[in-house]
A and B are shown apart, each in its own frame.
Chain A
Amino acid sequence: MGLFSKFAFFLGVRKKEVNVLVVGLNNSGKSTVVNHFKNEEERVTEIVPTVGFSVEKFQNQNLAFTAFDMSGHGRYRDLWEHYYKDCHGIIFVVDSSDRLRLVVVKEELDLLLQHPDICNRKIPVLFFANKMDCKDALSSVKIAAGLGLDKIMDKPWHIAASNALTGEGLQEGVEWLTQQIRDVVLNKS
């Protein structure tokens, strides 16, 4: 947490504002997930591949989320790390029907967890095993095993199977994240 936001927090000005980073490979459904959390009127009907990143805001249980929806395309993944420092939580979206790229997901996750701005912080990580509706989708248990999530000891993490098109599983996941961020934020103050 930056000095200014800490300060602001004491003064109670930005009490309920948190930043979350939405990452994952391209085509995993990040923009669709973020789109689902927005108000009915702000939602877009057609989602196009994200270039670079886009910033979206939404509310959940009195917390104002600023979501950085990062492009998952190979050449933009270098951008992710620039936002690690100032985020309070990470949403990692995985396409559970893309068996081929599960190794790439693991590689990117390992790079993220080893990053100096992440590795020593108790930052909550929420995984969405998205596209659970696809017929060859892997279960969230298999995804967790494939990514070696059981080896993450120093950070709270949670995996939820989701369908970003219908919204199934998303609310449950975000509730967990909200609770975690609140705990961390409350402990700090």
Chain B
Amino acid sequence: MSRGELNISRWLEAHSDRSAGLNTFARNAILADVCGDGDFRLVLTDVRLEADKRSRLKVYKGTLLTSDQVLPDIPSSLISFYSDELEPRVPSIAVACGSDLLIYKNNKPFYKFCVPPSPITPLEEETWKRFGEPNCDFAQVMTDLKSVRFNQLSARSQELLTLPPEQVPEYITRFTGLTPLKTSPIVSMTTLNRFSEDKSAIACPVLGTESGIIYILDSQTFTILHQADVCNVRTTPAIIKTAGMFDVEYRIVIACRENSICVLRRGWLEGKSLIQMTEDIVDMVLVPGDNFIVVATASKFLHCYTKRGQRVWSAPVFSPVTCLCLVPLKHLSTHLIAVGLKGGSVHLYHGRQPVDYTNSPDSPSALVFGQLGQEEHVMVVITMAGTINFKILKRTADFNLSNQDKLAAPTLQTKPLPLPKRSKLFIEQSMRERQNPIEMHQSFQEDLVRLRLTAARALVHSLTDQSGAGNAQEEIKLSAQVLGLGPKFTLILTLENMNAEKPIYNFLVVFHAKPSVYKLSTYVVFVPLIPPSLSYKMETKVTEVLTNEGVPQPPQAIRVFVMRKEQANPVLAASINMPPTDMTGLLL
């Protein structure tokens, strides 16, 4: 069996449970060593949206469900992180439910962090004060409340405005005297390593709220280390990814529900919009190493951007993308991207190239890849129909990546550009450029403008200069000289063969002049063979036709054509401006 053959799947089907009945969304399944025994577990949230059912936090050991806990609210996101360096290393699991972050350790509830409430509008505060006053006209005060923008109200006021009128008084009296709090639910979450890139290094939870605020928390004390707005306009962070370390330098890349991608760096209080997409963002991953941002859109495309937001490539996919997942392959020192597609398949991309695919029972809703149990390369696929499917990457799979690299590079780039080696001169020059960039740029621009001016002048000069006309293709040049004061002139033409190798022959020169003005001794001159790099001179006598009164006519041009025999198109044409006849000379 040869390694990496295409027809044989690279994935071993380890287990599939169609009756799992899971309802798990992207970023709600993780692989973590929750017991600290090196036996990695699958942790996921099983969401129930029905009012009478509760969402659950489930832990799988291998393929078996070993723990199932009820969650107080609908979870939005799930992370795991190490908060200390105590042995054995046990990571914390954190679930975002509403505006609370529930932290579990050793599978037990451990701590609860609440997102700080934001101030309510003065008008809303005022209305709730008035509700408390005796003989308050609720309907009147409520119209005031309606003048506040709905999304700026607290949850309590929002609910009040949606209640049927008969329930309003009862609802209001329940809360009289209590100022409402406006909290914003956590909508997305990730982790950011604190001071080491290590996989099991201490990391900080990073939360994004509906109102567009990013919080970075201390993983031990759960205090806010840093708080920033996603962007200068209000946007909701739907997907957050991080790179770098909190204590050194980091970047938080945020895909927003409004289809922009923002970046937040160390020390910033407000993120910067990097990319504005026209299509809906389905999922996003950051590729470590290259720092590329790969985005899947609702229009069946994968787009790849640099960390500065320049597009690197776009690749169409076969059907709508449901989720993405990074597949790090340390032994091949590369990263693939698993793309879950509607209809039930998972395609693996190496850069823009699809390198493999594997089936899933139906459309995947969440994908995770990593260590599960003792196996390092496990992909867990949870589908929309609730199936859980475990696949193991074969030890022998290499994805033909060495061949793929060659295919992936555009043909033009396979040849390296003939760039000269960096000389000392070049390096010194670039040093100087770095030192005085403005002056050097200005002087370069000045020289460039000068060069353009010189070129333009030369062009004008050669256009107006009659002495020489040439045909670069035929490599001949014609120059003319007019001798005499008139009415008799001598016209001397010089035809030069500029080609250094070939002689020219079969040429003739034809003169055109108005017979009423000039009379020429010859009108056609047959040019003999001109050897390479030599010239031939010919002479024509021109006599100006004087009127009966002996008055010279206004001077005119004589046109000269250099022709090849038996060809109608001239090879070269020139017109010679004749000087006016000097009447003073005539009179003498």
Give residues in A with beta carbon < 8 Å to B.
25-27, 74-75, 77, 98-104, 107-108, 111, 114, 136
10 closest residue pairs by CB, A with B: A103-B12, A100-B62, A27-B374, A103-B14, A100-B373, A74-B395, A100-B14, A100-B63, A99-B63, A101-B375
Interface string of B359-403 (1 = CB under 8 A from A): 000000000000011111110000000000010101110000000
Min CB–CB distance B332 → chain A (angstroms):
12
**A77 pairs with B62, CB closer than 8 A:** no
A104 to B394, CA, bound (A): 8
Expressed in whole angstroms, the Cα–Cα distance for A114 and B396 within the complex equals 15
Question: Known pairs A103-B392, A104-B375, A107-B395. 18 more at Cβ < 8 A?
Answer: A74-B331, A74-B395, A75-B331, A98-B373, A98-B374, A99-B15, A100-B14, A100-B375, A100-B378, A100-B390, A101-B14, A101-B373, A101-B374, A102-B14, A103-B14, A111-B1, A114-B1, A136-B64
Shortest C-beta distance, A108 to chain B (Å), equals: 8
Which residues on the B side are within 8 Å of A102 (C-beta)? 14
B contact residues around A108 at 8 Å (CB):
395
Task: Chain A residues near B126: list those with CB within 8 A.
Answer: none
A96 CB, nearest partner CB in chain B, Å: 12
User: Roughly how many angstroms separate A103 CA and B394 CA in the complex, as a whole number?
Assistant: 10
- Chain B residue nearest in CB terms to A97: B62
In the complex, what residues of B have CB within 8 A of residue A74's CB? 331, 376-377, 395
Whether the pair B373, A107 counts as a contact (CB closer than 8 A) is: no
Interface residues contributed by chain B, number (CB under 8 Å): 21
B residues in contact with A111, CB < 8 Å? 1, 396
Given A26-B374, A74-B395; A98-B12 close (CB under 8 Å): no
- Given A99-B63, A99-B64, A114-B1, CB of A107 within 8 Å of CB of B394: yes
Q: Does B13 contact A (CB under 8 A)?
A: yes
* Residues on the B chain within 8 Å of A136, using CB: 62, 64
The dominant DSSP class at the B interface is strand
What's the minimum C-beta distance from A154 to chain B, rounded to whole angstroms? 18
Output the nearest chain A residue to B372 by Cβ-Cβ distance: A100
Cα A136 to Cα B63 with chains together (Å): 11
Q: Could you tell me the distance between the alpha carbons of A77 and B373 in the complex, rounded to whole angstroms?
A: 18
What are 13 inter-chain pairs, A to B, with CB distance below 8 A?
A: A25-B374, A27-B374, A74-B331, A98-B373, A99-B63, A100-B14, A100-B373, A100-B378, A101-B375, A102-B14, A104-B392, A111-B1, A111-B396
Contacts of B63 in A (CB 8 A): 99-100
Complex CA distance for A26 and B396, rounded to whole angstroms = 17
B396 / chain A contacts, CB cutoff of 8 Å = 111
CA distance A127 to B15 in the complex (A): 22
In the bound complex, CA of A100 to CA of B40 (Å): 12
The minimal Cβ–Cβ distance linking A31 to chain B, given in whole angstroms, is: 14
- In Å, the complex CA distance between A126 and B390 comes to 29
Cβ–Cβ < 8 Å partners of A77 in chain B: 395
Residues of B within 8 A of A26 (CB): 374
Contacts of A104 in B (CB 8 A): 12, 14, 375, 392, 395
CB contacts (< 8 Å) of A75 on chain B: these are 331
| Residues of chain B contacted by A27 (CB below 8 angstroms) | 374
Is there an interface contact between B392 and A99, defined as CB atoms closer than 8 Å? no
Chain A hits for B376, CB < 8 A: 74
Cα distance A136–B15 in the bound complex, in angstroms: 15
Complex alpha-carbon distance, A39 and B226, angstroms: 61
Please report the C-alpha to C-alpha distance between residue A114 and residue B13 in the assembled complex, in whole angstroms: 21
Cα–Cα distance between A103 and B395 once the two chains are bound (Å): 12
Name the distance in Å between B16's Cβ and chain A's nearest Cβ. Answer: 11
CA of A74 to CA of B396 in the docked complex: distance in angstroms?
10
Given the complex of chains A and B, what is the CA–CA distance between A14 and B392 in angstroms?
44
B375 to chain A: which residues have CB within 8 Å? 100-101, 104
Least CB distance from B9 to A in Å reads: 11
Q: For the complex, what is the distance from the CA of A100 to the CA of B13, rounded to whole Å?
A: 9
Residues 4-27 of chain B, each 1 if its beta carbon lies under 8 Å from chain A, else 0: 000000001111000000000000
Q: Report A116 CB to chain B, min CB distance, Å.
A: 12
Assembled-state Cα–Cα distance A154/B373 (Å):
34
**CA–CA, A26 to B390, complex, Å?**
19
CA distance A6 to B376 in the complex (A): 42
| B13 & A103 in contact (Cβ 8 Å cutoff) | yes
How many whole Å from A50's CB to the nearest CB in chain B? 14
Question: Given the complex of chains A and B, what is the CA–CA distance between A108 and B15 in angstroms?
Answer: 17
Chain B residue nearest to A78 in the complex (CB)? B395
A102 to B390, CA, bound (A): 12
From residue B417, how far is it (CB to closest CB) to chain A in Å? 38
Chain A residue with the shortest CB-CB distance to B331: A75
Question: Contact at B62–A98, with CB atoms within 8 Å?
Answer: yes
A106 CB, nearest partner CB in chain B, Å: 8
- How far, in Å, is B8 (CB) from chain A's closest CB? 11
Chain A residue at smallest Cβ distance from B11: A103
Tell me which of A25, A100, A104 has the highest count of chain B C-beta atoms within 10 A of its own C-beta: A100
A101 to B374, CA, bound (A): 8
A108 CA to B12 CA in the complex, in Å? 11
Chain B nearest Cβ from A179, distance in angstroms: 33
The interface residues of chain B lying within 8 Å CB-to-CB of A100 are 14-15, 62-63, 372-373, 375, 378, 390, 392
Least distance between A84 CB and chain B CB atoms (Å): 16
Min C-beta distance of A189 to chain B, whole Å: 35
Cα-based distance from A157 to B12 in the complex (angstroms): 25
CA separation between A141 and B377, bound complex, in Å?
28
Report B45-86 residues with CB < 8 Å from chain A CB: 62-64
Chain A hits for B14, CB < 8 A? 100-104
Which residues of A lie under 8 Å from residue B395 when comparing CB positions? 74, 77, 104, 107-108
Q: Write the nearest CB–CB distance from A25 to chain B, whole angstroms.
A: 7
A51 vs chain B, min Cβ distance (A)? 16
Residue contact B392 to A101, C-beta cutoff 8 Å = yes
Task: Output the least CB separation between A119 and chain B (Å).
Answer: 12
Give Cα A75–Cα B395 distance, bound, in whole angstroms. 8
Q: Which residue of A lies closest to B13 (CB)?
A: A103
Q: Would you give the shortest CB distance from A62 to chain B, in whole angstroms?
A: 37
CA distance A74 to B12 in the complex (A): 14
Q: Which of A25, A77, A101, A111 has the most CB of B within 10 A?
A: A101
Q: How far is the CB of A87 from chain B (nearest CB, A)?
A: 21
CB distance from A34 to the nearest CB of B (A): 19
Chain B residues within an 8 Å CB radius of A101: 14, 373-375, 392
Residue of A nearest to B1 (CB): A114
Which B residues touch A25, using CB under 8 A? Answer: 374
Residues of the A chain whose Cβ atoms lie less than 8 Å from the Cβ of B331:
74-75
| In the bound complex, CA of A10 to CA of B13 (Å) | 49
Considering only residues 508-545 of chain B, those with a C-beta below 8 Å from chain A are none
Min CB gap A90→B, angstroms: 19
| Docked CA distance A101–B375 (Å) | 7
Residue from A74, A108, A114, A136 whose CB has the most chain B CB atoms within 10 Å: A74
B36 to chain A, nearest CB (A): 16
